[in-house]
Copies of this chain bind each other. A is one copy, B any other.
Amino acid sequence: MDKQTVTIYDVAREAQVSMATVSRVVNGNTNVKPSTRAKVLEVIKRLDYRPNAVARGLASKKTTTVGVLLPDITNNFFNSLALGIDDIASMYKYNIILDNADNKKESQVLSNILAKQVDGVIYMGHQLSDSVREEINRTNTPFVLAGLNDTKNEIPSVNIDYTQAFYEVVIGLLEQGYQHIGFLAAKPYFTNNTDRYNGYVKALEEAGKSVDQDLLFETADSRFKNGEEIASHIKDSKADALVVVGDELAVKVTNFMVDNGVKVPEEFAIVTSNNTALTEIVRPSLTSIEPPLYDIGAVSMRILTKLMHKEEDVENHVTLPHKFVLRDSTKH
């Protein structure tokens, strides 16, 4: 009738031991005589006993559950991170409470997840709002930001060097002879995009060029659907190369260019930022920065486990190395 029918008491009675002993064998405590352990295990199996994790959580103050917040589970950037998180989580026997915080009041979602007594939280998103930061500071539950820099450097985070990556991309484009390199990203620039923009600027300045406002393109949302109009603007501009934040956006621009007779990469080069599967699907395929998405998630979770186990000297701000994948949207 109920979810849980057989309890630790039932096992204890049936095995003719105390519940403490049953608890010990369930928790792998070694101070149990092998013969009684065997007896208990037999009864557990026979009765199909399954320890109630909720009761366990209440008594031990540990739930072996971590909260994971992300803006959009269908976004390849975020779900790639999530995969890494999930793998490491299950390796360490943690469950994940997933919250697609898109459109919901994040601090509300966070409060709710904290009420569930998660042992830790991984936060993914475009930026860290003040209300969320406040929640984080108010609780003792460990937090890690995955793929998002903390502008105040208070909260542990795992990232690549977005500035450096974009700097390198632009330098490369310059070397290939492109003259008017545009920058396309969603506005307003959130944390990571500010970093990327800085890398773009730095490269231009080193090359003795100044930033041309006419080469700064923006969209309100980096999702695929919103790329059509901006692509048209870009085509009509003097840009002969473009670095893009968001593969979906980059794909949209690429298709628009090709569909409208622009030769890529001869007349127009495109470099994108996340190296998701889309980059290999478009024609021409897209040259891209290759951030180790899975690893960012995995490392974030690994750090969280250390934090949850109260280990000392946990690395707080990890910068993972990135690579580049040269494909057909650039000359090289």
Contacts and interface: CB of A to CB of B under 8 A. Distances in A.
Interface string A1-16: 1111000000000000
Interface residues of A, number: 59
A43 interface: no
Contacts of A55: 58
27 contacts: A2-B140, A3-B114, A3-B139, A4-B61, A48-B138, A50-B114, A50-B115, A53-B116, A53-B117, A54-B63, A54-B116, A73-B83, A73-B86, A74-B82, A86-B98, A86-B99, A90-B109, A95-B99, A96-B99, A98-B98, A224-B280, A248-B277, A255-B283, A258-B283, A259-B283, A278-B278, A281-B282
A260 to B, nearest CB: 13
A219 interface: no
Interface string A231-262: 00000000000000000100100010011000
A79 interface: yes
Interface in A49-103: 50-55, 57-58, 61, 63, 65, 68, 72-74, 76, 79-80, 82-83, 86-87, 90, 95-100
Contact of A117 (B3, B72, B96, B283): B3
Interface in A105-127: 109, 111-117
Given A58-B54, A74-B83, A97-B95, A65 B116 contact: yes
A58 B58 contact: yes
Given A3-B114, A3-B141, A95-B97, 10 more contacts: A3-B117, A3-B139, A53-B115, A54-B63, A73-B82, A74-B76, A90-B99, A90-B109, A98-B98, A283-B283
Nearest to A116: B53
Nearest to A277: B224
A95 B79 contact: no
B51 A115 contact: yes
Contact of A95 (B1, B50, B112, B224): B112
